[in-house]
C-alpha cells in the first residue's frame, strides 16, 4: 500500500511543479507594454469646456471635479481597453502637471496666499493670475516656459532658499486609489525630483548664487512620503519622469541622482526613470549605478542610443523600457521596424527585462483619428493619435510575445502603402531643392548698399514707425470667416468683407500717423494654417487639438508630402491695400522654419528638406509681391528659437539649415526691396548671431518683457542692420504711456545706433481691441516724433 501511495504523491508533485514552473516561466518571459501619459482634453473637449465654464463663473468646483473624474475614467479605460499593461495615473491635470507638483508640495508664493482664495482658485491663480477689482484681488501668474522642444508650456512657480515643501495634496495617491476603485491597476507618474527642481523658477529676489536644485535635501522627504503612501496602497510600480536627462547639463547631475534614488528606492514601489525628448548621452554612466527597476529611453528621437545603453546595463539589475511609439508625431508607427529594434534588446537582456512604450507622454498628440470625418481613408491610414498609439504599443508587445494580432498585420499593409505613396513624390519640387545654389542664399548686394537703395525707394523718416502685421481680429471678422466656411457667404461677399477690413486698417494708420503700413491680416485664421491651406502637401484635422498651455489648444497642420505653391497666396490682399494709400505697404508672410515648427512634419523626409521646399514656395511669393509693387516684405520667424535642438552639439546643423531657409525665401528680390523679419516668444540671446546671419534689412524683436537681457545681448553682439526692439507689450490690454515708450526708446538708443532704430510694438495686435490699439499706437507715434528731434 505504501508504494503506490507515495508514487501517486510523487507524480502529483512533479506535475504540479512542472505546471507552476511553466506558469512562472511563461509569465516572466513576457514583454510588457506601457504608456507614459495621455491627453488631458477629454473626448469632446470636456475638460477644456468644464475649466473655462468654471472660470467664467458658470459652474461650481464640484461640477468641475465631476467632469475631471469622468475624464480620468475615460482615459484609463481607453488605455486599458487597448491592452496596455502599465497605465499611467496622476498625470492628469486641470492646468499643467508641473504646476500640480508645486501646488501639491505646498509651494505657494506669498502673493497668492495673501489673496485668501479657495485651494482650487489659488491653484488657477498660480497658473494664470487673477484680477477681480471689486474684490480687491489682483495677482499675476507664475512664469510660463516651453517644455523642452515641444509646443507645450509649463508653469514655473517661484522657489527661493526659504521655500519649504509640505505635502498639501497627495494627488498621486488619490488618483491611484480612484483608478483602483474602478478595477484598474495603474502606474503613478511624477516628475523626478531633479527634473522638478531644474524646471521650476528661481524667485527674482533670491540671492544670485541660489539655484532651486539646492533645495534637493528639503524636497526628498516629500517624495518619500508620496512614494511610501503609494507602496502602502498597493502600487507595485511608479514612473518618475526625468526628461532633464535629455539635456547636456544632466551629465553633471550624477551625485544628485545617486542621492535621490538611493533615498527613494527603499521606500518606493519599483521605480522606472523615463528620459523623454532626447538621448541620455553620458548620463548613462551614473544611471546604470542607480538602485532603480528600469530605465526608459526615447528611441523615436534617438534610436542610436540603444546599443550603448544595453551594453551599459546588461550586467546590472536594471530593466529597459523602449520608447518606440512616438509621443511627438501623429504618424502610424512602423511596427515591424520597432519589433526589430526591440528584438535587439530582448537578445541582450531577455524578454522579461523589456517593456515597450511610448517615447514620451501622449499629451502632445490629439486623442483619436476616429472622429476625423473629412480626411480620406488613405490619409487616415497614415495616422495614429493617442488612442491608436496605445493600440500600437499593445500590438507590439503581443507581437514580441509571439502573437501577431490583426492590428499588426494591418499595420504592415498600411506602412507599405504609405512607403509606396512616399515614392510618388513631386519630382519638380525635389529637383528644385536639389538645384539650390549658394548664390540663391544671398541678396544681390550687402546691407549698406541695399539700405541706400531702400531709402530712396521707401522714403521713410528716421525712427520709422510700423506694426508687426495683424490688427484686432474682431468678432465680425471671425463671424464672416465662419459664415464663409459654412457657405452662408459667397467668395465674393467674403472678399468684400475682408477688403472693408483692410480699408479700415489703412484709414486707421493714416489717421494715427504711422509710416510703414500693414494690411492687418484679417483674412488669416492663423499665421501657419493660412499658408498651409494654400500650399500643396498639407492636410488639416477637424478635431486634432493639442495642448499648448492651460486650457489653450492648437490644431497643427500635418505635412504629408512635397510642398509647393500652386498660386500666389497673399498678393491680392497686399496689392489691394497698397492701392488705397501712398504710404508704403509691408507684405506679410510666415517664414519656412516657423511654418514647419508649428506643424507636424512628415517623418520620411528630413526637416531640412521640408523647410527648403517651404522656402522655395515663399521665395516665389516674395518675388510676386515685389512685382506687384510692394516695397517692404516681412517674413516672420517667431518659432526659429523653439526649434533649437536640446543638445548643444546639434545646434549648428539646425541653425545652418534654418538660416539658409530664411535666406532662400527672401533673396530673390532686388536690393531696393526691404526685407523684414519678426521674432518673439523667447529669449534670443543664445542664437543672436544666427539672427544676424539671416541678413534681414530690418528685424523686429520681442523686447518689452525680457528687456534688460536683450539690451545686454545688443551690447555684447551689436547689430549691423535695422532693428525694432518692441517698445511695448501687446500681450496685455494695458495702454503704455507716451513717456514709457520714450524711456524705452532712450534705453535702447544707448546700446543701438539711433539711425538704425525702428519703432514698433513687440508682436501682432490680433488679440487686442481697437480702442487700446488706437491709444497705444498714438502714443507710439508721438514718442517716435520726439525721438526724431532728440537724436537728430
Ligand atoms: C507670433 S508672431 C505674429 C506675427 C504676425 N505677423 C502678426 O502680426 O500677428
Ligand atoms: Zn510675434
Over residues 67-76, the pLDDT tens digits come to 999 999 999 9
Task: Give yes or no for residue 680 CB within 6 A of ligand 1.
Answer: yes
Looking only at the bridges linking them, the beta strands covering 546-549 and 552-554 are: antiparallel
pLDDT one-digit tens code per residue, 78-123: 999 999 999 999 999 999 999 999 999 999 999 999 999 999 999 9
Angle, CA of 574, 620 and 764, to the nearest 5°: 40
Domain membership of residue 438 (yes or no) is: yes
Write down which residue in 423, 447, 475 finishes a domain. Answer: 423
Q: Report whether residue 594 contacts ligand 1, using a CB cutoff of 6 Å.
A: no
Question: 139-153, 313-327, 458-472, 536-550: which range is least confident on average?
Answer: 139-153
Structure confidence at residue 706 (pLDDT) = 52
User: Is residue 238 included in any domain, yes or no?
Assistant: yes
164 in the same domain as 305 = yes
Judge whether 2 lies within some domain: no
Closest Cα to atom 8 of ligand 1 = 764
- pLDDT in the model for residue 13: 63
The span from the CA of 482 to the CA of 487, in Å, is 9
Question: Residue 242's closest CA among 381, 36, 547?
Answer: 36
pLDDT of residue 259: 98
Q: What confidence score (pLDDT) does residue 255 get?
A: 98
Please report which ligand is nearest the Cα atom of 680. Answer: 2
Residue 535 CA to residue 727 CA, distance in Å, equals 34
638 Cβ below 6 A of ligand 1: yes
Residue 376 burial (CB count, 10 A): 10
Q: Give the distance (Å) from ligand 2 centre to CA of residue 727.
A: 13
Task: Give the strand pairing for 698-701 and 546-549.
Answer: unpaired
Q: In sequence order, what DSSP letters do the residues of 506-553 get, joined into one string?
A: HHHHHHHT-SBB--B-TT-SSTTHHHHTTSTTEE--SS--EEEETTEE
Distance from the alpha carbon of residue 204 to the mean position of ligand 2, in angstroms: 25
Q: Residue range 596-615: average pLDDT? A: 97
> Dihedral of the CA atoms 384, 385, 388, 390 (nearest 10)?
120
Nearest CA to ligand 1 atom 1: 638
Nearest of 54, 217, 67 to residue 123 by alpha carbon: 54
To the question of whether residue 457 is assigned a binding role by annotation, the answer is no
Q: Taking residues 411-416, what's their average pLDDT?
A: 98
Q: What is the mean pLDDT of residues 286-300?
A: 98
Contact yes or no for 601/551 (Cβ under 8 A): no
**For 365-383, how does the pLDDT look when each residue is reduced to its tens digit (9 = 90+)?**
999 999 999 999 999 999 9
| pLDDT given for residue 26 in this prediction | 47
Rounded Cα distance, 175 and 186, in Å: 9
Is residue 436 domain-shared with residue 550, that is, in the same domain?
yes
Residue 675 corresponds to which cell in the numbers above? Answer: 526685407
* pTM of this structure: 0.93
In the prediction, which pLDDT does 792 show?
A: 86
Same domain assignment for residues 434 and 476: yes
Cell numbers that stand for 761 in this block: 510694438
With b meaning 16 or more CB within 10 Å and e meaning fewer, what string describes 517-531? bbbbbbbbebbbbbb
Same domain, yes or no: 374 and 446: no
Q: Which atom of ligand 1 is nearest to the CA of 469?
A: 8
614, 658 in Cβ contact below 8 A? no
How far is C-alpha 697 from the geometric centre of its chain's CA atoms? 29
Q: What is the pLDDT of residue 780?
A: 98
% of the chain surpassing 90 pLDDT: 88
Q: Which residues contact 308 (CB under 8 A, 6 or more apart)?
A: 284
Q: Are 70 and 83 in contact (CB under 8 A)?
A: no
Mean pLDDT of the 736-757 span: 94
The mean pLDDT value for 512-516 works out to: 98
- pLDDT tier, 441 (very low <50, low <70, confident <90, very high otherwise): very high
Domain assignment present for 225: yes
615-625 as b/e: b if 16+ CB within 10 A: bbbbbbbbbbb
Query: Distance (Å, rounded) from C-alpha 691 to C-alpha 719?
Result: 10
- Whose CA is closest to 439, among 659, 671, 667, 691? 667
* Residue 238 CB-density burial (10 A; 0-12 exposed, 13-18 middle, 19+ buried): buried
Give nearest CA residue, ligand 1 atom 3: 764
149 is in an annotated binding site: no
Name the pLDDT band for 709 (thresholds 50, 70, 90).
confident
Both 639 and 700 in one domain: the answer is: yes
Per DSSP, what are the bridge partners of residue 154?
145
DSSP 230-276: HHHTT--EEEEE-GGGGSGGGGG-HHHHHHHHHHHTTTSSEEEEE-T
Q: Strand 294-298 relative to strand 319-325: parallel, antiparallel, unpaired?
A: parallel
Q: How confident is the model at residue 197 (pLDDT cuts 50, 70, 90)?
A: very high
Active site residue 731: yes
Last residue of a domain, one of 402, 423, 444: 423
Please give the average per-residue pLDDT across 463-492, as a whole number: 95
Angle in degrees, CA 102, 104, 105, rounded to 5: 65
Query: What ipTM was assigned to the predicted interfaces of this complex?
Result: 0.99
Tens digit of each residue's pLDDT (9 = 90 or more) over 534-591: 999 999 999 999 999 999 999 999 999 999 999 999 999 999 999 999 999 999 999 9
Query: Ligand 1: which residue has its CA nearest to atom 7?
Result: 764
Report the CATH number that the domain containing residue 634 is assigned in CATH. Answer: 3.20.20.210
Q: Are residues 707 and 734 in the same domain?
A: yes
pLDDT at 23 over 80: no
Length reported for the chain: 792
Q: 444: Cβ–Cβ under 8 A, 6 or more apart, which residues? A: 670, 671
The protein residue whose alpha carbon is closest to atom 4 in ligand 1 is: 764
pLDDT given for residue 718 in this prediction = 84
Say yes or no: 635 and 751 in one domain: yes
**Lowest-confidence segment of 347-361, 583-597, 726-740 by average pLDDT:** 726-740
Atom of ligand 1 nearest to the CA of 588: 6
Per the CB < 8 A criterion, the answer to whether 658 and 640 are in contact is yes
Please work out whether the CB of residue 470 comes within 6 Å of at least one atom of ligand 1: yes
Give CA–CA dist 622/267, Å, rounded.
63
User: For strand 137-139 and strand 130-132, is the pairing parallel, antiparallel, or unpaired?
Assistant: antiparallel
Does one domain contain both 433 and 394? no
Full domain range(s) for residue 771: 427-790
pLDDT at 25: 46
As for how many domains the chain has, the answer is: 2
pLDDT band with cut points at 50, 70 and 90 for residue 1 = very low
What is the predicted pLDDT for the residue at 717? Answer: 86
Mean pLDDT on 124-146: 89
Whether 355 has a pLDDT exceeding 60, the answer reads: yes
- Asked if the structure places residue 131 within a domain, the reply is no
The single-letter DSSP state of residue 403 is: -
How many whole angstroms separate alpha carbon 167 and alpha carbon 106?
6
Ligand 1 atom closest to Cα of 467?
8
Task: Note whether residue 719 is domain-resident.
Answer: yes
pLDDT, mean over the chain: 94
Q: Confidence class of residue 24 from pLDDT cuts 50, 70 and 90?
A: very low
Indicate if the alpha-carbon torsion angle 653, 656, 660, 663 is positive or negative: positive
Q: 423, 439, 465: which is the final residue of a domain?
A: 423
Instruction: Indicate whether 786 belongs to any domain.
Output: yes
Same domain (yes/no): 163, 235: yes
Would you say residue 692 lies in a domain?
yes
- Å from CA of 763 to ligand 2 middle: 4
Q: What are phi and psi of 498, to 5 degrees?
A: -70, -40
Measured in Å, how far apart are the chain's first and last C-alpha atoms?
A: 121
Q: Indicate if the pLDDT at residue 466 is higher than 70.
A: yes
pLDDT at 716: 85
Residue 629: the pLDDT is 98
- The whole-number pLDDT of residue 707 equals 59
Give the ligand at the shortest distance from the Cα of 467: 1
CA of 702, nearest ligand number: 2
Q: How far apart are CA 368 and CA 388, in angstroms?
A: 7
In a shared domain, residues 408 and 495? no
Q: Does 72 share its domain with 189?
A: yes
Q: Mutate which of 469, 520, 724, 767 to test ligand 1's pocket (most atoms within 8 Å of Cβ)?
A: 469
Half-sphere exposure of 534 (CA within 13 A, CB side): 21
Unique residue bearing C-alpha cell 512620503: 225
User: Residues 412, 434: one domain?
Assistant: no
DSSP calls for 735-765: PPPHHHHHHHHHHHHTTS-GGGB-B--SS--
What is d(CA 408, CA 418) in angstroms, rounded to the nearest whole number? 15
Amino acid at each position: 500500500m505504501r508504494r503506490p501511495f507515495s508514487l501517486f504523491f510523487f507524480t502529483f508533485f512533479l506535475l504540479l511543479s512542472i505546471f507552476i514552473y511553466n506558469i512562472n516561466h511563461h509569465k516572466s518571459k513576457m514583454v510588457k507594454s506601457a504608456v507614459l501619459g495621455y491627453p488631458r482634453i477629454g473626448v469632446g473637449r470636456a475638460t477644456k469646456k468644464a475649466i473655462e465654464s468654471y472660470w467664467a463663473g458658470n459652474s461650481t468646483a464640484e461640477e468641475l471635479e465631476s467632469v475631471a473624474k469622468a475624464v480620468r475614467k475615460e482615459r484609463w479605460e481607453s488605455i486599458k481597453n487597448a491592452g496596455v499593461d502599465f497605465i499611467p495615473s496622476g498625470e492628469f491635470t486641470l492646468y499643467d502637471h508641473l504646476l500640480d507638483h508645486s501646488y501639491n508640495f505646498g509651494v505657494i508664493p506669498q502673493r497668492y496666499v495673501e489673496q485668501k482664495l479657495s485651494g482650487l482658485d489659488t491653484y488657477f491663480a498660480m497658473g494664470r493670475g487673477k484680477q477681480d477689482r471689486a474684490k480687491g484681488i489682483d495677482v499675476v501668474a507664475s512664469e510660463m516656459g516651453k517644455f523642452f522642444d515641444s509646443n507645450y508650456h509649463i508653469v514655473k512657480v517661484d522657489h527661493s532658499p526659504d521655500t519649504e515643501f509640505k505635502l498639501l495634496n497627495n494627488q498621486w495617491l488619490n488618483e491611484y486609489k480612484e483608478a483602483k476603485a474602478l478595477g484598474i491597476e495603474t502606474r503613478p507618474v511624477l516628475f523626478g525630483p531633479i527634473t522638478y527642481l531644474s524646471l521650476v523658477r528661481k524667485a527674482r529676489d533670491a540671492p544670485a548664487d541660489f539655484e532651486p536644485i539646492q533645495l534637493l535635501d528639503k524636497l526628498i522627504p516629500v517624495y518619500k512620503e508620496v512614494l511610501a503612501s503609494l507602496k502602502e496602497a498597493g502600487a507595485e510600480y511608479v514612473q518618475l519622469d526625468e526628461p532633464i536627462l535629455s539635456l547636456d547639463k544632466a551629465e553633471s547631475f550624477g551625485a544628485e541622482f545617486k542621492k535621490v534614488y538611493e533615498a527613494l528606492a527603499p521606500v518606493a514601489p519599483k521605480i522606472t526613470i523615463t528620459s523623454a525628448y532626447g538621448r541620455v548621452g553620458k548620463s548613462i554612466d551614473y544611471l546604470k549605478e542607480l538602485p532603480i527597476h528600469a530605465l526608459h529611453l526615447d528611441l523615436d528621437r534617438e534610436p542610436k542610443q540603444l546599443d550603448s545603453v544595453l551594453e551599459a546595463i546588461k550586467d546590472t539589475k536594471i530593466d529597459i523600457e523602449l520608447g518606440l511609439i512616438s509621443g511627438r508625431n501623429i504618424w502610424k508607427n512602423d511596427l515591424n521596424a520597432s519589433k526589430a529594434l526591440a528584438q535587439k534588446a530582448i537578445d541582450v537582456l531577455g524578454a522579461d527585462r523589456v517593456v515597450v512604450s511610448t517615447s514620451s507622454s501622449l499629451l502632445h498628440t490629439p486623442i483619436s483619428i476616429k472622429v476625423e470625418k473629412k480626411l480620406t481613408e488613405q490619409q487616415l491610414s497614415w495616422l495614429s493619435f493617442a488612442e491608436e498609439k496605445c493600440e500600437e504599443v499593445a500590438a507590439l508587445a503581443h507581437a514580441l510575445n509571439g502573437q501577431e494580432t490583426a492590428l499588426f498585420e494591418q499595420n504592415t499593409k498600411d506602412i507599405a502603402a504609405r512607403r509606396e505613396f512616399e515614392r510618388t513624390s513631386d519630382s519638380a519640387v525635389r529637383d528644385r531643392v536639389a538645384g539650390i545654389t549658394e548664390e540663391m542664399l544671398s541678396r544681390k548686394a550687402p546691407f549698406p548698399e541695399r539700405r541706400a537703395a531702400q531709402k530712396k525707394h521707401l522714403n521713410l523718416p528716421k525712427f520709422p514707425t510700423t506694426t508687426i502685421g495683424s490688427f484686432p481680429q474682431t468678432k465680425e471678422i471671425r463671424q464672416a470667416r465662419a459664415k464663409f466656411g459654412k457657405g452662408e457667404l459667397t467668395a465674393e461677399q467674403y472678399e468684400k468683407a475682408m477688403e472693408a477690413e483692410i480699408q479700415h486698417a489703412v484709414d486707421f494708420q493714416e489717421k494715427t500717423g504711422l509710416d510703414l503700413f500693414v494690411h492687418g491680416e484679417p483674412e488669416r485664421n492663423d499665421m501657419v494654417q493660412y499658408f498651409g491651406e494654400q500650399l500643396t502637401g498639407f492636410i488639416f484635422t477637424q478635431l486634432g487639438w493639442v495642448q499648448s498651455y492651460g486650457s489653450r489648444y492648437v490644431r497643427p497642420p500635418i505635412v504629408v508630402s512635397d510642398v509647393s505653391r500652386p498660386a500666389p497666396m497673399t498678393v491680392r490682399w497686399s496689392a489691394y491695400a497698397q492701392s488705397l494709400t501712398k504710404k508704403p505697404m509691408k507684405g506679410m508672410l510666415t517664414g519656412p522654419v516657423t511654418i514647419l515648427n508649428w506643424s507636424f512634419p512628415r517623418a520620411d523626409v528630413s526637416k531640412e528638406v521640408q523647410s527648403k521646399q517651404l522656402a522655395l514656395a515663399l521665395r516665389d511669393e516674395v518675388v510676386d509681391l515685389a512685382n506687384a509693387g510692394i516695397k517692404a516684405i516681412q517674413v516672420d520667424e517667431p518659432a526659429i528659437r523653439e526649434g533649437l535642438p536640446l543638445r548643444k552639439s546639434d545646434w549648428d546643423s539646425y541653425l545652418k539649415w534654418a538660416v539658409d531657409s530664411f535666406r532662400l525665401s527672401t533673396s530673390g528680390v532686388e536690393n531696393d526691396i526691404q526685407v523684414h523679419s519678426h521674432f518673439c516668444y523667447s529669449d534670443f540671446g543664445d542664437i543672436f548671431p544666427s539672427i544676424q546671419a539671416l541678413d534681414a534689412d530690418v528685424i523686429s524683436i520681442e523686447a518689452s518683457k525680457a528687456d534688460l537681457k536683450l539690451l545686454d545681448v545688443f551690447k555684447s553682439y551689436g547689430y549691423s542692420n535695422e532693428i525694432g526692439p518692441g517698445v511695448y507689450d501687446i500681450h496685455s490690454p494695458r495702454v503704455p504711456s507716451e513717456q514709457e515708450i520714450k524711456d524705452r526708446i532712450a534705453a535702447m538708443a544707448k546700446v543701438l545706433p539711433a539711425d538704425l532704430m525702428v519703432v514698433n510694438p513687440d508682436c501682432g495686435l490680433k488679440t487686442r481691441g481697437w480702442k487700446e490699439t488706437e491709444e497705444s499706437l498714438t502714443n507710439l507715434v508721438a514718442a517716435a516724433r520726439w525721438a526724431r528731434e532728440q537724436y537728430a
